Structure 1
């Protein structure tokens, strides 16, 4: 069973059902039923037209559910006869579904959550992890969002900023390796950039390309995490970097700065440095200042503390860190790194161990644990 194929087909199948008249919530339920049936039957009897098969089965599930619900009986008057099985139109409804999920009646957080679940294919648990809320809370949020857009057709675009946040979260989820959606997010960002003339759309696409260009170097042969400063830059995709930089420069030239353009500028400065030692940290600090002004985000200020530590020394970085909330995600890891650079290896080892316990994924936890162990071993050797 090719799960990647199924994930890629879901948006198109869902879009077809909605365009045929199914409300969003019922359409998603029907598509999920069709996916379950596909997992059960495809290994022994794979269809020649997977998308057409899913559309046919999902549409039948929708009709069955509609007819079985007496409260929805009136909807049958509006439901057309079941289309004959056969090839389905080669129409990509994915972007239209993103805009539906970014409907003005939804809060930004609900719109993002609904899109990640219904179009991106992430589980409720994964979305809850991204928001740092309990899974039950996220499940209720998604259910309410589905009810809100129920009956809304695909002819009312939503908020572009919300769509961009959705794409960014999808990209980050894929980039982490838990769910490989990074390439799909880039594809959708390209489509969005082709139809919407907006510098922040271009900024997001540039940011994705610049990050994705480093993907091959982010892990070692053993699967362990490789920090940016230690990556083999010869493994970076220079063609993708050049494309990202070109898109970013064109966006910045329009003088309508937004947070994705600023983030892309930071990524471009990293990509432009032949070695870690040649990174222009002074400019990176300046871009983080712009980002902080645009977003007032504590996470941005956390990243800025790292950049300050590189540009002005670890003591300056620790001073910038001291004014932030210690409960921020990855605060302990940043503090550990800056203390290590300042020569306080005992504090650094303790903080690396603390950060490892709080790490959001196994790769990061293992990396932080190894750093703590290395510092402790070095201190033990010196004490002998």
Structure 2
């Protein structure tokens, strides 16, 4: 066959598309039979007879014990998604540490650990060195387990933009337009083309929105996520899609103006959401500024949560004041995006019952009753996933990228 016809590439492309279609269908609907897959996808049953065993051998699918049909005959062996021989490494950069969690494609955790980076302001290469050292350790562990590292997804608490994305700016680290992926792959060339860079709040938004669903009830298609730990972040899902905006910074709630003329903000204005209800403001009101300065914001926030739970009046008052601001922002968000749920993550989920959120918000003479008395049915609810939310969302995003890429699947199976 002449290479000028392009037919070999066409055949490989079709094969990859069929493999991707098959794997994604089984992942969504398994356990399922070949006949059911064929009916849903349009793939010929003869093709499935060839592709399923190949994917089983590759560790992407698994056949379960078969059962005979109602009329007897050959047992039907349902197939399920496996993914045990390929892993995703989720690298989360926090204000104090780098955390790396590796899990197989089905979400089974294989290893989780981290290391402090010392927060070297203006020196991203020092953080990159910590990242690659941890990735080296995880790669060795995966080899010992007989698992391949399929993709690395780096989770950054900062606005990102570009294709491939770069860190636009980070006030936590004093970075400006830094190409984090290029720096990582310069030290780990084997990861070139296999790294993603994502925003932490966006990934947590996806994960927490999906966590709202139950087996008999799908997750709502319109969700807003707000979280606070070392700052304030968030994300919006509308119509089932994450809002990213023109430059990838579609929802940065920290600088929503809530109190004109209020506390000064690092952006130069006064009364921004983060200035009024961010961790530094709340910690100051709770009498924990000194601890934040000496031990770091993460340690101080953990102490704040413990004091609130222990009944400390100053800590509870500080959190309740933040709750008033959160309620005001939530009203603006409700009027802007009309979400089915607003999820509060970070430490706000830990102190949710002490935020003092009213059951009714008012705008003029109109009353918006969100029935917050029953969190499982309410409008504002605490996050369910805790500190792992961003890593869970990032890993799921990476798996979707891998399994939805026909070329990758075709190469992996060759």
Q: Give the TM-score normalised by the residue count of structure 2.
A: 0.28
Q: Using CA pairs under 8 Å that are at least 6 residues apart, name the structure with larger relative contact order, 1 or 2.
A: 2
